[in-house]
Structure 1
Amino acid sequence: MGGEALTAEVSRAFWLSACLTVILGFWLVPLLRQLRVGQRIRTDGPARHLVKAGTPTMGGITFLGGMTVAVLSLARHQPDGIVVLLVALAYGLIGFLDDFLKIIKGRSLGLRAREKLLAQVLVAAGLAWWACAFAGRGTDYVLPFSGFWEVGGVRFDLGFLFFFFFTILVLVSSANALNLTDGLDGLAATLTAIAAGFYVFIALVVDKVGVAVALAAVVGGCLGFLVFNRHPAKVFMGDTGSLALGGALGAAAVLTRTELFLPVIGAVFVAETLSVILQVVSFRLTGRRIWRMSPLHHHYELKGWSENKVVLIFAFWGIVAGILGLSGLYRLG
């Protein structure tokens, strides 16, 4: 497939996913409101969030629908693209069950932590097996800044067992990091659109057309979702959406052999996750908190930043991280 044809295919995936997400949103958001599928708000969080109580959640169904149609229409002969979609749908289903139990069934914590983790691990294990058995992924890794673009980069291989467990770590970490980031109107969708956009370019560089098409659909779905999720949000994506998006990014990293690039491109997600971990560790060891509240976006809210300001500044750093991650395709020096 030539360069112009590739660009057109990626563009079609973006627009089809974006348009379908918006169309589904105009139908689904009122339905969710009618069904009273409302988000419960943390009472220990920023006071301004209390007005969001009852805002419909599980809105991730909208962009999952758009992504599914786009990928099946444009990448049905590209197994890598189908696999990225399947991982997203599997993680989305885990999130949907969690949302359903919390909101519809009234179970305060949704799925039990071990149930959720086990389900995520099983999906990731399936991806690891498929990548080696059918996708020709191999078990090697490419070091960032070692010349991936020019000469194939510096590679190292620690065998299948390491690859198997590291793939599980990548997917579970990616999904839950994105889940932690989904705490402000438009934040998770904006940051995912940025990270996935950079990964579209990486997928094209390493000739993973199906992955590029799937991620273009992710970008389109996220931007379409922002029609309803930007501040003040009419709907939240819920675990249905956040786990799905994290799963898609993790799967793309595995299939493009760029797992070590993902923490760079997704540096804002990493920072959000570390803020939670360090906050918990600090409080347990010293009885003191490092930040006013974690994840990090709530800290800045409590300092007086508006939600839009937090999203814009985090998006800026997301773009910086993406540029740095792309530069990792080249050799330093």
Structure 2
Amino acid sequence: MIDNSVLITSFFAFGVALAISFAMTPIVKLFAKKVGAIDVPKDARRMHKVPIPRLGGLAIFLGFLISILLFGRIDPQMKSILLGAVFIVMLGVVDDIHPLKPLVKFAGQIVAALIPVLSGVVVERLMNPFGDGKYFELGLLAVPLTVIWIVGVTNAVNMIDGLDGLAVGVSTIATVTVFTIAVLVSESYIAVTMAALAGACMGFMPYNMNPAKIFMGDTGSMFLGYLLATISIQGLFKFYVGISFAVPFIILGLPIFDTTFAIIRRLLKGQSPMHADRGHVHHRLIDMGFDQKQSVAILYMLSVVLGLSAVVLATSGEVKIIILAVAILASVLIGLSVTGHDKKKEKEQQEEKQDEGTEDAPGSEEKHG
């Protein structure tokens, strides 16, 4: 039974976060210009053509923080999560103004992860899908694996922040997914937290959609990754253990798999895993001929499919069948869209080659007598 009071509180948390984030973004934009937090397009990885202010994540953070202080439940573990969030945001602000060395940033992310972990925000067990035992007890592995999870997701969201509106949109979809599951399993604490985060993201989105007026920068992408990682540990790992092995990975499937393949790709090339390149899934869609808006729309749809799949694991009966059908339909539509666009691109390239061949043919040039 869904608790109406949770939905009402979540609604207000969402609205307040959205309003604050929306109102603060122009102010943050002016601040970014003043301190020189500007993203200058200086390599092929960057899709924008003109310098654009960073630090937009600061508006997202402020919207979320104020809303959660007003409507959220602040227990000791939530305090530690918020403290870690403050640290990761400060790290992001410094990096957006004066880019940090990768190892320094990585060390900072570990520190941010340790703050909640040392306060008990830890994955203690995972479901055992292979044996008769119900769970894998992690024991001494609990702390290092939790830190790896938090740092990994933090970087995963950071790495997909390559197109206007992509990272904030994918994070919003993941947030709404966690919110939906939290409501279904009556976890009001998680639901209100996710409602506040979704509102903060959506308040920023109008400024970040193509063509973007401001980027959220590492301030925003690391904050979103960190918070999704820590809240999923609090909510889905601890309170709904039966699905904990799969759900967070499915919800964050796009950034996790993109980052995993990026690391493998770089290692195979003999490069550092932190070496930036143009091999991410959003770059590949651009190279296939999709523009930024089309690429982002495709990845949004993929994230929705993953989100629906995660919700399926937390539902039953007719609802599960309906959600699964929608997920399958969305997958088919994505496949048809990509395949159709690819064929159209190939046809255009063939026509261009034929036109070039006609122009180069003997006697095809105009004669002037």
The TM-score bracket by the shorter chain reads 0.7 to 0.9
Matched, 1:89 2:75: no
Pairing of 1:165-204 with structure 2 (within 5 A):
165-204=144-183
Where does residue 51 of structure 1 map in the other structure?
Answer: 49
Q: State the secondary structure of the residue aligned to 2:299.
A: helix
Where does residue 115 of structure 2 map in the other structure?
Answer: 126
Where does residue 343 of structure 2 map in the other structure?
Answer: none
In 1, the alpha carbon distance for the partners of 2:43 and 2:219 equals 22
Matched, 1:73 2:70: yes
Going from structure 1 to structure 2, the CA distance change for 1:68 and 1:144 (only over 3 Å counts) comes to farther
In 2, the alpha carbon distance for the partners of 1:37 and 1:129 equals 33
Q: Please list the CA deviations of residues 231-283 of structure 1 after superposition, one character each: whole Å capped at 9, or x if unmatched.
A: 00000001000000000000011112136422211111123213322321343
In 1, the alpha carbon distance for the partners of 2:34 and 2:230 equals 35
Asked if 1 retains the 8 angstrom alpha-carbon contact of 2:156 and 2:225, the reply is: yes
Equivalences, count: 304
In 2, the alpha carbon distance for the partners of 1:173 and 1:203 equals 23
Going from structure 1 to structure 2, the CA distance change for 1:216 and 1:81 (only over 3 Å counts) comes to farther
Where does residue 61 of structure 1 map in the other structure?
Answer: 58
1:26, distance to aligned residue in structure 2 (A): 2.8
Where does residue 324 of structure 1 map in the other structure?
Answer: 309
Where does residue 22 of structure 1 map in the other structure?
Answer: 22
Task: Return the TM-score normalized by structure 2.
Answer: 0.75
Q: State the secondary structure of the residue aligned to 2:98.
A: helix
Matched, 1:41 2:27: no
Matched, 1:254 2:254: no
Asked if 2 retains the 8 angstrom alpha-carbon contact of 1:71 and 1:81, the reply is: no
Structure showing greater relative contact order (alpha-carbon pairs closer than 8 Å, 6 or more residues apart) = 1
Amino acid at match of 1:127: P
Amino acid at match of 1:121: I
Pairing of 1:147-162 with structure 2 (within 5 A):
154-159=134-139, 161-162=140-141
Q: Please list the CA deviations of residues 103-149 of structure 1 after superposition, one character each: whole Å capped at 9, or x if unmatched.
A: xxxxxxx2x222222222222223222226xxxx7722246899xxx
% of aligned pairs identical?
Answer: 25
Q: Please list the CA deviations of residues 18-59 of structure 1 after superposition, one character each: whole Å capped at 9, or x if unmatched.
A: 11101111322234335543103241326xx2513x200011
Where does residue 235 of structure 1 map in the other structure?
Answer: 214
Where does residue 297 of structure 1 map in the other structure?
Answer: 282
Going from structure 1 to structure 2, the CA distance change for 1:31 and 1:98 (only over 3 Å counts) comes to closer
Where does residue 263 of structure 1 map in the other structure?
Answer: 249
Asked if 2 retains the 8 angstrom alpha-carbon contact of 1:92 and 1:240, the reply is: yes
The CA RMSD over aligned residues, in Å, is 2.8
Q: State the secondary structure of the residue aligned to 1:284.
A: coil
Q: State the secondary structure of the residue aligned to 2:190.
A: helix
Q: Which runs of 5+ in 1 are unaligned?
A: 103-109, 147-152, 286-291
Asked if 1 retains the 8 angstrom alpha-carbon contact of 2:96 and 2:218, the reply is: yes
Going from structure 1 to structure 2, the CA distance change for 1:89 and 1:252 (only over 3 Å counts) comes to same
- Which residue of 109, 124, 127 corresponds with 1:139? 124
Going from structure 1 to structure 2, the CA distance change for 1:59 and 1:15 (only over 3 Å counts) comes to same
Going from structure 1 to structure 2, the CA distance change for 1:309 and 1:92 (only over 3 Å counts) comes to same
Q: State the secondary structure of the residue aligned to 1:236.
A: coil
Going from structure 1 to structure 2, the CA distance change for 1:278 and 1:6 (only over 3 Å counts) comes to same
Q: State the secondary structure of the residue aligned to 1:130.
A: coil
Where does residue 342 of structure 2 map in the other structure?
Answer: none
Asked if 1 retains the 8 angstrom alpha-carbon contact of 2:80 and 2:115, the reply is: no
In 2, the alpha carbon distance for the partners of 1:122 and 1:223 equals 28
Larger Rg: 2
Going from structure 1 to structure 2, the CA distance change for 1:192 and 1:180 (only over 3 Å counts) comes to same
Going from structure 1 to structure 2, the CA distance change for 1:34 and 1:95 (only over 3 Å counts) comes to closer
Where does residue 188 of structure 2 map in the other structure?
Answer: 209
In 1, the alpha carbon distance for the partners of 2:135 and 2:25 equals 44
Amino acid at match of 1:242: S
Asked if 2 retains the 8 angstrom alpha-carbon contact of 1:60 and 1:238, the reply is: yes
Matched, 1:5 2:5: yes
Q: Which runs of 5+ in 2 are unaligned?
A: 238-243, 272-276, 321-369
Task: Return the TM-score normalized by structure 1.
Answer: 0.83
Asked if 1 retains the 8 angstrom alpha-carbon contact of 2:113 and 2:147, the reply is: yes
Amino acid at match of 1:299: R
In 2, the alpha carbon distance for the partners of 1:6 and 1:174 equals 27
Asked if 2 retains the 8 angstrom alpha-carbon contact of 1:275 and 1:296, the reply is: no
1:94, distance to aligned residue in structure 2 (A): 1.7
